[in-house]
Amino acid sequence: MPSSRAIQATGLVKRYGDKTALAGIDIDVETGTVTAVLGPNGAGKTTAVRILTTLTEADEGTAIVAGFDVRRDPMEVRSRIGLAAQDATVDPLLTGRENLVMLGELHHLDRKTATRRAGELLTRFSLDDAADRVVSGYSGGMRRRLDLGATLVANPEVLFLDEPTTGLDPRARRELWETLDTLVGQGTTVLLTTQYLDEAERLADDIVVIDHGRIIARGNSASLKRQVGGEQIQVVVTDRADLAAAATALEAATGHEPTRNEGARQATASTSDGVAALSVLAATLRDAGIAVDDLGLHQPTLDEVFLTLTGAPPEHEDEEAGGMPARKREVRS
């Protein structure tokens, strides 16, 4: 039966001993759309991807991927999907081209077709110059682009990307986002996992937020932002006596009631039109002669999203997750 759903998973549960990695999650992905599974380390992202890509079996629940049941027809599913796993799958001792040709042959392309396909993908992912160098000498960004190319060798209907940009520097991250934009523009269905709210917002039509193996929120970026209150403006006045006046100006600029912290001489309010509200506030404060130590627009970090949604910050299972970039744009006076 044809379905507009590329992925339809219901009630997925996975336990490792007495540890519950997934506590019953549903994931639906419409064909031609991008869904991000967003969560901190240990949330269960990789486990979900492994179940949907037939690498591991769920203890409970069902999943249909590209029209086939992952439990009953794993080979049918495998032939229709691509996976860029968290640990790179390419061979570091081969060149980029050799890797892609080998993968093509593994997917039953004849050598000539595999070679042509490898060449196309290397060009598409801007790896022409590096094509005949061994992968161990590639930068992180180049390697991720090769991983992406590798997932596309067999023209998959559904693409799984497990943390495609974790560990990349900001520039390589942006470049990979652009590459993913192109891919998505061509109509590939993608499920990606990420620890980064901005990445999910940037790339995904739908975002599923998971924590401790449970879905704690889902929606598009705008609806999630509404749930977590979106951006905030923070003002720190130089003289505590000005705090009340600054808070009034902040409320007028944002339309939201500020919270005040007397000790920190600080007032904070949510805003739906950050930069505009910030410039209105800056002008009001200047006209009123209120001196400020700090005035800034603050995006919710993933930690704050979790704080809002769960009442507790995510538990970071290891060091890697500590590197969450706090994003803050500031106007200093």
Closest distance between Mg ion and the C-beta of residue 151, in Å?
Answer: 17
157 three-class SS: coil
Asked if 63 and 56 count as a contact pair (C-beta separation under 8 A), the reply is no
User: Which one-letter amino acid corresponds to residue 58?
Assistant: A
Contacts of 257 (CB under 8 A, 6+ apart): 251, 269
Residues that bind Mg ion (CB under 5 A): 45-46
Binding-site member from 27, 39, 65, 145 for ligand ADP (CB under 6 A): 39
- Does residue 21 touch ligand ADP according to CB under 6 A? yes
Part in contact with ligand ADP (CB under 6 A); list of ranges 39-47, 93-101, 254-262, 272-280:
39-47
CA 211 to the chain's CA centroid:
14
Say whether residue 166 binds ligand ADP (CB under 6 A): no
Q: Which one of 45-53, 124-132, 140-148, 259-267 is the stretch in contact with ligand ADP (CB under 6 A)?
A: 45-53
How far is residue 223's CA from residue 206's CA, in Å, rounded to a whole number?
A: 10
CB 284 within 8 A of CB 246: no
Decide: is 16 part of the binding site for ligand ADP (CB under 6 A): yes
Residue 164 touches ligand ADP, criterion: CB under 6 A? no
Stretch that binds ligand ADP, among 15-23, 111-119, 166-174, 218-226 (CB under 6 A): 15-23
**Binding flag, residue 46, ligand ADP (CB under 6 A):** yes
Residue 214 in contact with residue 237, Cβ under 8 Å? no
240 in contact with ligand ADP (CB under 6 A): no
Closer residue to Mg ion in complex, CB, 45/256: 45
| Total of residues contacting ligand ADP (CB under 6 A) | 11
Buried b (16+ CB within 10 A) or exposed e, 224-260: bbebbbbbbbbbbbeeeebbebbbebbeebbebebeb
- Applying CB under 6 A, does 45 fall inside the site for ligand ADP? yes
Q: Which residues bind ligand ADP (CB under 6 A)?
A: 16, 19, 21, 39, 41-47
